[in-house]
Structure 1
Amino acid sequence: MNIPAYTALLAAFLVILQVVLMLSVGLHRSKGKFVGHEGDRDLERKVRRHGNLAENSGLFLAVLVILEILVGQTTMVLTLCIIFAVARLLHAVGFASLAGSHGEDLTGARKGFAAARAMGAMGTLITAVGSAWALIGTQL
C-alpha cells in the first residue's frame, strides 16, 4: 500500500490555516458577539472564509488520499496538493478585506483582494475536478 505522504503534508498545512482562521473569528467574537454575525460585516467575512475552507478541504483531502493510495506519490498528486494549498491561501487572503468578500471599494490595490478570492476559487475548482477525473481514471 502506498503511504499518502503528500496528502498528509497538505492536511497539516490546512489544519494550521484552519486554526489561524478560527482564531481570527474567535478574537473578533471576544468583542461580545457569540452567535451569528449580527450585521457585523467584518465578522461575517471572517466566518465565511473559515467556513469555506472547512467546506472544501475535507472532501478534497478524502479524494486525494484515496488517489494517492491508488497511484502513489506521483507528480500529479503533488501538483494537486500544491495548487489546492495555494488556492486556499489565496482565497483566505481575498477574504482578508471587505473588497474581496463584499466587493466594497474595488479601487486601486484593493482589486487585488477580489482577484485573490477569484483565483482561490478557480484553483479549488480545478483541483476538485482534476482529482475527481484522476480518481475515475484509476478505475477505468
Structure 2
Amino acid sequence: MTVPIISAYAAAILIMMQGLLMVLVGLHRAKSGVNLGVGGDLALERKIRRHGNLAENAALFIVVLALAEMTVVPASVISVIAIIFVIARALHAIAMSTEVGSHGGEGSKFFVAARVLGAFGTLGSFLALGGFLLVNLL
C-alpha cells in the first residue's frame, strides 16, 4: 500500500479553499447582522452555497481518491482526476461569486459557463474516479 500523497496535495488545496469560503461567509454575516439563514440577502446566499457545495463534494471525493491511490489506480490517473476536480471546484466557486453565475442575472456569460464547467467537471471526476476504482478492483 502506498501513502496517498496526490490525495494529500489535493486535500491541502481544497481545505484552504474551504477555509477561505468559510471566512467569507462569516465576514458577510458579521457585516450584515444575519446570524442564521440568509435574511433575504442574495449575496450571503451565494456565499453560503459556495461554501456548502464545496463541503458537500470535496470530503467524499478526497476519501475515494485516497482509497483509489492506495489500492490499484495508477498515479497518473489519480493526478489527472485530482487536478480536474480542484479546477472544477474553483470554477464553481468563482461562478457562484456573482449573481449571473448563481441566480442567472444579467452579465457576463463567463460565470454561467464557469458554473456549468464546475458542475460537469465535478461529476466527471466522480464518475471517472469511481469507474477506474471499480474496474481496477475487479
Q: Normalised by the shorter chain, which TM-score bucket? A: over 0.9
Percent same amino acid among aligned pairs? 45
User: Given that residues 95 and 112 in structure 2 are in contact (C-alpha distance below 8 angstroms), is that contact kept between their aligned partners in structure 1?
Assistant: yes
What is the distance in 1 between the residues matched to 2:73 and 2:50?
Answer: 31
> What stretches of structure 2 of length at least 5 have no aligned partner?
none
Q: Deviations over 1:61-120 (max 9, x none)?
A: 111100000036611000011000100000000001000000011x4xx21111101100
2:20 alignment counterpart: 20
1:89-104 → structure 2 map (5 Å cutoff): 89-104=90-105
Amino acid corresponding to residue 7 of structure 1 in structure 2: S
Deviation at 1:138, TM superposition (A): 2.0
Deviation at 1:130, TM superposition (A): 0.4
How many correspondences in the alignment?
Answer: 137
Q: TM-score, normalised by structure 2?
A: 0.96
1:10 alignment counterpart: 10
1:100-139 → structure 2 map (5 Å cutoff): 100-105=101-106, 107=107, 110-139=108-137
1:36 alignment counterpart: 37
What is the distance in 2 between the residues matched to 1:113 and 1:60?
Answer: 24
Runs of 4 or more above 2 Å deviation = none
* Corresponding residue SS for 2:37: coil
User: Given that residues 86 and 120 in structure 1 are in contact (C-alpha distance below 8 angstroms), is that contact kept between their aligned partners in structure 2?
Assistant: yes
What is the distance in 2 between the residues matched to 1:72 and 1:126?
Answer: 16
Q: TM-score, normalised by structure 1?
A: 0.95
1:17-96 → structure 2 map (5 Å cutoff): 17-31=17-31, 32-71=33-72, 74-96=75-97
What is the distance in 1 between the residues matched to 2:116 and 2:49?
Answer: 15
